[in-house]
Structure 1
């Protein structure tokens, strides 16, 4: 074997070259930009060659740096994969799931106890965050995401396609105008999604041509917040039926009008192909597919229409 390799410096060089930024590399490595810069400087002095060109908007690989960067990237990826294998050997009965907070709170968490009862030997950990998962660097086994199912380099399994329904507190609807057609929803305050787009699309899908009135009202980034505002009587929210199901069953919300609107998006289980081969992950996939099949459309079936007697 040769001399001891300066692995910290090589990793700092590799991440900086990949991200084109000392600051971004420092965030990835969990250190300060100054520490990354120092490691690169040590490497350059040791080799006697410049690896980066410093510019106002970042750093760029020199010709010498570019010649070795791809090989170092592959080398560190092999090291990370080998280390992940060792980690899996030590925690092979654990399962870490990532999903967005609204889906975790309204659908997954109320059901996950059934999975644990079936598989008590599997330790389950749920991470609820809106940020996308980096399967190469984050210790995540599966992610549950709402999208179109296109996740390059990963396996995706379609679970269910929720529909959007207008929901409100029964007290609010009892005090206001009767809702018998989609345009009647405009007589109430509308609670908006973060993009203020869903109400316009829902109304247009049901033949109502609208202007700015469909985009007015308080907006919320998460369906969970929309549900809480609707249950508090602050207006009508347009949310996924899977998210509203628990509040509908509890009587906190009712469907204002039984006019669901299908979306192109669906919920997918996303994971790496090798991770899907682990027995505990396969057990979770089988379980959640069965749960998704049972819960499809449940909110619509449970909810009385506000213009019909209960």
Structure 2
């Protein structure tokens, strides 16, 4: 027949054995000396033998008590370490953020150090993908998405609208060639976003009417590919200026015209409604919005 372990009595035995004093053990356990004496008596009754010898200077372990005390002491130390690990695990939080590769590399990842400094207990895991995540199935906590902001049944917050600028390789548009008007871009091959929307909208915003040349050229899946194609001299790309800063600074790309126009689409922070109740999600959303507001 199974019997329960006398945990409290064993814990008391370990403390008294370490300290050799009922009073000292009582202070360590935050109980009265009478309570300690009672637990020792209960344990000795349970095992049917004395575990301590009472002396004027305190208590000394009997031979039987001394034989089991080291193992019990080690066991309770392991229990304490396990409880500490559980407490640390509770305080350490993991957050999965999904976004497209270009946004992750050019904007999010370079700024994550500031989030880590502010919230060292939150570990951010970035998934770079162009696929729209099923946030429940894929266990995504926050998605940063470029679109129209229509994400049914999800909590959506506007983040920022990147400014699009036309860029090209210096080999395609050398320094001695100056483009002065948006329609000048139509003299070159155009590199389009996946839905071929940005170039026509950009041209229309600058007063350039319908022109069949605005529809020509290759279409690529994301801004990273557009930038690489532009670097290779394949045409003019219309990309967020933030993404092309490094290439422009290095001279691999040039901004061919100073006629920026905000993109038709904006970036949005997307979460499950219930996820906003979690401290780590709320902290990240507030931080990323703060970073976006500071973007120039």
Check whether TM > 0.5.
yes
The Cα shift of 1:223 comes to 0.8
Q: Which runs of 5+ in 1 are unaligned?
A: 1-88, 299-310
Structure 1 Cα separation of the partners of residues 269 and 258 of structure 2: 29
Matched position secondary structure for 1:193: coil
The Cα shift of 1:197 comes to 3.1
Structure 1 Cα separation of the partners of residues 176 and 186 of structure 2: 12
Alignment of 1:161 onto 2:166: no
Alignment of 1:267 onto 2:233: no
Does the aligned pair in 2 maintain the 1:183–1:208 contact within 8 Å?
yes
Structure 2 Cα separation of the partners of residues 264 and 200 of structure 1: 11
Structure 1 Cα separation of the partners of residues 273 and 250 of structure 2: 39
Report the counterpart of residue 127 of structure 1 in structure 2: 127
Does the aligned pair in 2 maintain the 1:168–1:231 contact within 8 Å?
yes
Matched position secondary structure for 2:273: coil
- TM-score of the superposition, structure 2-length normalised? 0.64
> If you compute each CA radius of gyration, which structure gives the higher value, 1 or 2?
2
- What's the CA shift string for 1:174-210, capped at 9, x where partnerless? 2563201111112222212223332222222212224
Report the counterpart of residue 288 of structure 1 in structure 2: 288
Report the counterpart of residue 172 of structure 2 in structure 1: 172
Structure 2 Cα separation of the partners of residues 197 and 156 of structure 1: 23
Report the counterpart of residue 45 of structure 2 in structure 1: none
Structure 2 Cα separation of the partners of residues 135 and 141 of structure 1: 7
The Cα shift of 1:162 comes to 1.4
The Cα shift of 1:171 comes to 4.4
Alignment of 1:202 onto 2:214: no
- What's the CA shift string for 1:70-113, capped at 9, x where partnerless? xxxxxxxxxxxxxxxxxxx8696101000112211221122222
Structure 1 Cα separation of the partners of residues 121 and 152 of structure 2: 32
- What's the CA shift string for 1:242-290, capped at 9, x where partnerless? 3223433444333211112223421111112221222222221222112
Q: Which runs of 5+ in 2 are unaligned?
A: 1-88
Cα RMSD for the two superposed structures: 2.2
